[in-house]
Chains A and B, each alone.
Chain A
Amino acid sequence: MSKGAYRATAIAAEVAVPVAILLAWQAWTAQANDPKFPRLSTILVEFRELWLFSQFELHVVPSLTRIALGFGIAVIVGVAIGIPLGLSRRGRILAMPHIEWWRAMPPPALLPISIVLLHSIGDRQKVSFIAFFCLFPILLNTIDGVRGIDPALMETARSYGVGRFERIGRIVFPAALPQIFAGMRTSLSLAVIMMVLTEYFSSTSGVGYVLLISKNTFQLAPMWAAIVLIGLLGYLLNLLLVLIERRVLAWHRGWRAAAAQ
C-alpha cells in the first residue's frame, strides 16, 4: 500500500472506529430493550436536558469547585514541601516513611474517618479529602524532579554567587517543572475520582450525589447521563491541563528534540 493510501486509511479508521462503537452501542441497546441500558439517543437527550443547563449550577459547579480547590491546594502544598525535600537528603530520610505510608493507603479507607474527624460532610471534608490524596503524586514527582536537576546547573549558579532562594526560584523550580506537570496530570485524574467517591458516599450536592440519587430512585437515564458527564469532565480537565502544559513547557519539548538529534 502506498504511503498516501496508508495515511488516508489510518485517518479513516481513526474516525470510523469511534463512530462504529457508538453506532453499535445504539443498535445493541435499541434491540435489547433493557431499561438498565437505555438507548444512546435517550442518554444524549437526557444529558442535554439535565446538564445543559438546568442542573449545571446546582451540581456541576459545586463539583468543579471542589476539584479545583482540592487540586489547587495539593499543587501548592506538594510543590512547597517537595522542593525542600528534593534538596535535602536528611529531610527525605525523615519524611519518606510517612510519604510511602500515605501514598499506599487506599483513599476510600479514610472516607469514614474524614467525616468523623472533620465533623462534616460538606465542602470542608470533601476538599480536604481530595487535597490530601492528590498531594502525593505531586509531592513525589516534585521530589524526583528536583533530584534530577543537573548538578552542573546548580554549580554554575553557586559559582556566580546566586543566593539560595534565588537558585530555588530561578533554577530549581523551572528545572523541575516538567516533572511537576507529570505529577499534576496524575493528580488531576485522581481529583475527579476522589470527588465522585466523596460525593457518592455522603453529600447533598454535586455530580456524585446525582449519581447516587438517580440510582436510588431508579432513574436510569439521568444515571447514565451522570456517568457520561463524569467521563467528559475528566477528559476536558485533562485536556485543559495538557494545553496549559504545552504552553508553559514549550521550551522543554524543543530542548528534548534538540538533544535527541
Chain B
Amino acid sequence: MSKGGGQVLEIRNLGKTYGTGERATHAIADVSFAVEDGEFVCVVGPSGCGKTTLLKCVAGLLNPGSGEVLLRGSQVTSPPEEMALVFQEYGRSLMPWSSVWNNVLLPLRHKKLAAKERKQLVEEALAAVGLTRFSHHYPWQLSGGMQQRVAIARALAYQPSILLMDEPFASVDAQTRGDLEDLILQVREEFAVTILFVTHDIDESVYLSDRVVVLTHAPTEVKEIIAVDLPFPRDQISTKELPEFAHLRGHVYRLIKRDQVEPAELALAEPVPESGRRG
C-alpha cells in the first residue's frame, strides 16, 4: 500500500567491516535495495547477519566502509532530520530522570517551533500510542511494552518521513507484541510514514510489510526480496489464517533456514563455502 511516490531511500552496495587484518569481521559484504515512499519494508535474516549495523548505517550513525545510503538522491553522512530511529532496548534509550512527556519532547526542543506547536505534537503522539494518561510518569514506572510505546511516540512527535526500527518488539512478551504490531500499522496509516523495520521474527516480518528483504548470514548480502500481497487492513487473526500468509511465511522461513550456519563456523572471518548458500 505504498503511495507510489517513487524511491525515497536507496541502499547501494553497502559494506561494513570491523577491525583490520587478521581480526577483521566482515559484518556486511554487499547489500543493495530500495524503499519507496510510504512503503513498509521489513528486513529479516539469521542471527548475527549485521541487521543492526545495516540500520545504523542507514540512520547515519555509522559510516559504511563501502557503498552508500541515498536519501532522496543525496548521501547520508550524519543522522538526517527526516529520519527517526527506534531501538530494541527501549529502557536504555529513554531518560530515566525525565517524565514520559519530557522524553517525547526531547527531539523537538531544538527544532524551530513555537512552544504551543511542540505541546500539540507531543500530545498527539502520546494519544496515538495510547499513553496520554501516563504523560507525567517516569518511564521506569511503566511496563516494557508501554516504554516501547513511549519510544515510538517520541519518534512520531519528531514528525519523520522515515521511521527506522531495530527489532523494537523483540523484548516484549508475545501478546504485547501483537498489540504493538497493530499499533505500528495504525501509525503508518495515520501519519503516512515510510518504515524500514528490522526483525528476526519471520511471522512479524510478513504480517507487517509490503516487502520483505531477506539477508544472508555474514558476510551479508541480500538473498531475496519478497513482495507481500496480503490485503490491508491486517488483523492478527484473520490475516494469519490466510493461505497466502502461510505460504509467504514458509518461503521466508525456508530461505533463512537453508542459510543457517553452525555457531562455530560463524566465528571465522573467511566465508565458508556451503552448498545451497546461493540457493
Contact = CB atoms under 8 A, between A and B. Distances in A.
B59 interface: yes
Nearest to B59: A159
B61 A159 contact: yes
Contacts of B60: 159
B138 interface: yes
A160 B79 contact: yes
Contact of A159 (B79, B97, B98): B79
Interface string B173-192: 00000000000000000000
Given A161-B107, A162-B110, A258-B141, A171 B95 contact: yes
Interface residues of A, number: 24
Nearest to B79: A159
Interface stretch (B85-93, B234-242, B268-276): B85-93
B97 A251 contact: yes
A158 B83 CA distance: 11
B130 interface: no
A148 B106 CA distance: 21
A163 B61 CA distance: 14
Contacts of B140: 254-255, 258-259
A153 B92 contact: yes
B138 A152 contact: no
Contact of A160 (B95, B97, B158): B158
Interface residues of B, number: 27
Contacts of B109: 162, 166, 170
A157 interface: yes
A161 B138 contact: no
A156 B92 CA distance: 9
Contacts of B95: 153, 170-171, 174-175
Interface in A126-185: 150, 152-153, 155-163, 166, 170-171, 174-175, 177
B81 interface: yes
Of B85, B87, B93, the most chain A CB neighbours within 10 A belong to B93
Nearest to A174: B97
Interface string B129-166: 00000000010110000000000001000100000000
Contacts of A161: 79, 81, 107, 110
Nearest to A160: B107
B96 interface: yes
A154 B84 CA distance: 14
A170 B106 contact: yes
B137 to A, nearest CB: 10
Nearest to A258: B140
Interface string B41-61: 000000000000000100111
A246 interface: no
A156 B147 CA distance: 15
Given A159-B83, A251-B96, 14 more contacts: A152-B89, A155-B93, A158-B61, A159-B60, A159-B61, A161-B79, A161-B81, A161-B107, A162-B106, A171-B95, A175-B95, A252-B97, A255-B96, A255-B140
26 contacts: A150-B92, A152-B87, A152-B93, A153-B93, A155-B56, A155-B85, A158-B61, A159-B60, A159-B79, A161-B107, A161-B110, A162-B107, A162-B109, A162-B110, A163-B110, A170-B109, A174-B98, A175-B97, A177-B97, A251-B96, A254-B140, A255-B96, A255-B138, A255-B140, A259-B91, A259-B140
